[in-house]
Structure 1
Amino acid sequence: MSLGPDPDEVVYHPRDAISSTAKTTAVTTLAGTTASAIQNTLTKQNVGAMGIFTRYGGTIAVFAAMGASYEFVKCASANLREKDDHWNTTLGAFFSGSMVGLKKGTLPAFLGYGAALAVIAGVYDYTGGSLSGYRKDPDVDEVARKEFLRKNRRRPIEETLANLGEGRGIHGPGYEERRRQRIKENYRIDLPPPNAPTHS
């Protein structure tokens, strides 16, 4: 007997593939134009400013095709599968990488570039999509988390003293009295107790 949808199940919200594709294509076309301008600037022949489009226009086209194919396939896959996971990114990256291989004009390049980019993007998305490590839980206070880690790894002072000895800021109980005694024995200087009043 079904009591309704599972509350833990994530509800998928469809994406607007056309709008997302248009935005991504605009961004990647601008990036391609920048790359084309850099290529045009670094060329040895003087081809003029229009060389950005006449000589290196293929770079702009590849960037635009990569962005459009990635975003459209990613959104279409998510809408068809009704899941938002790393497989959508993998499929989009395969078609995006294939655009580079398409420029080469061979089937191995088409499949190779697509597979390479699919593996890189898919693994990156699967592992959290972050180069700085795991994502922190926004519901956990960072100060409390660090305090817990310190207490969790804190060792008893007796163990620390047994391993390292006293000094360097590590002092056991009765350290001041032992220090006064050592100074008195070695240098014949009688230091006052730490809490003794000083006479001016």
Structure 2
Amino acid sequence: MGASADDHHYHPQDTIARTMRTTGLTGSVGLFASAVQNTLARQNVGPWGVFTRTGATIGILAAMGGTYEFVKTSSANLREKEDHWNVALGGFFSGAILGLRARTFPALLGYGAALATAMGGFEYTGGSLFGKRRDPNVDEFERREKLRTQWRTPGEQTLAELGEGRGIYGPGYAERRRERIKEAYGIDVPTSHPAAS
């Protein structure tokens, strides 16, 4: 019992370090997106157009990433729990940053609620597009063998529950079938089928 209690104990995280790292990462993504926008512009705006013309993309993405990580980590530290509600809170405030561009209160709430729902739901369902994450400490072969044998039922139990037929036949089925046909119709069924010519 003591080991499982230690496994579920929350360990506080460094909010500022994580926020700075995420802000830098999303700011880099924003810089790339701004460079692509600058490249696709019809006018020749020069290399500084990345900052002067489409630089708002850098700021918005950096602010969204930093806000998300700060709120998510702060919420986890305050609640001492790592779950989907932290992600939903971070998503709401991050979406609200995106909603600030529209300069209306409904847009702020709408973008926040949409991103909170999407990110919170994604985290609640396992945080992966490919299903729930597997425990790295469990051997995959042993896990699959356990799954194979966990729901396996003995053949006698299956026959008792379903009965014979439909591809499920117990030992001695041919003899029992022959006897039933003999009793019902008076026909002797041969024990072996004649060879095909």
Alignment CA distance shift 1:152-1:25 (3 Å)? farther
Query: What residue ranges of structure 1 are gaps of 5+ in the alignment?
Result: 166-171, 188-200
Q: How far did 1:182 drift? A: 4.2
Question: Partners in 2 of 1:46 and 1:128 — Cα distance?
Answer: 46
Task: Summarize deviations over 1:132-182 as a string: whole Å, max 9, x none.
Answer: 1233455361341353268459877xx9x94369xxxxxx99xxxx9x954
Match of 2:120 among 100, 119, 122: 122
Query: Could you list the per-position Cα deviations for residues 116-139 of structure 1 after superposition, in whole angstroms to 9, with x for gaps in the alignment?
Result: 000111111122212212334553
How far is 1:108 from its partner? 0.9
Residues 140-149 or 23-32, more deviating? 140-149
**Match of 2:148?**
147
Which amino acid in 1 is paired with 2:5?
D
Structure 2 residue runs of 5 or longer lacking an equivalent are 175-189
Identity %: 46
Instruction: Provide closer, same or farther for how the CA distance between residues 47 and 72 of structure 1 changes in structure 2, counting only shifts above 3 A.
Output: same
**Partner residue, 2:31:** 33
Aligned residues: 170
Superposition RMSD on alpha carbons, in Å? 3.2
1:46 equivalent in alignment to 2:40: no
| Aligned counterpart, 1:69 | 67
CA distance in 2, matches of 1:182, 1:100: 80
Q: CA deviation at 1:51?
A: 1.3
Superposition deviation, residue 107 in structure 1: 0.9
Relative to 1, partners in 2 of residues 1:87 and 1:42: Cα closer, same or farther, differing over 3 Å? same
Q: What is the distance in 2 between the residues matched to 1:40 and 1:88?
A: 35
1:109, distance to aligned residue in structure 2 (A): 0.9
C-alpha distance in 2 between matches for 1:38 and 1:50: 13
Change (3 A) 1:75 1:162: same
What's the CA shift string for 1:94-119, capped at 9, x where partnerless? 11111110111111111110110001
What does the per-residue CA deviation read over 1:42-101, in whole Å, with 9 as the maximum and x for residues that have no partner? 222221222111110000000000011001111111122222221111111111111110
Other-structure match for 2:5: 8
Query: Given the alignment, which residue of 95, 109, 112 partners 1:111?
Result: 109
Q: Letter of the aligned partner of 1:106 in structure 2?
A: T
User: Which amino acid is the alignment partner of residue 146 of structure 2?
Assistant: R
Instruction: Give the corresponding residue for 1:163.
Output: 166
DSSP-derived class of the 1:102 partner: helix
- Structure 2 length-normalised TM: 0.72
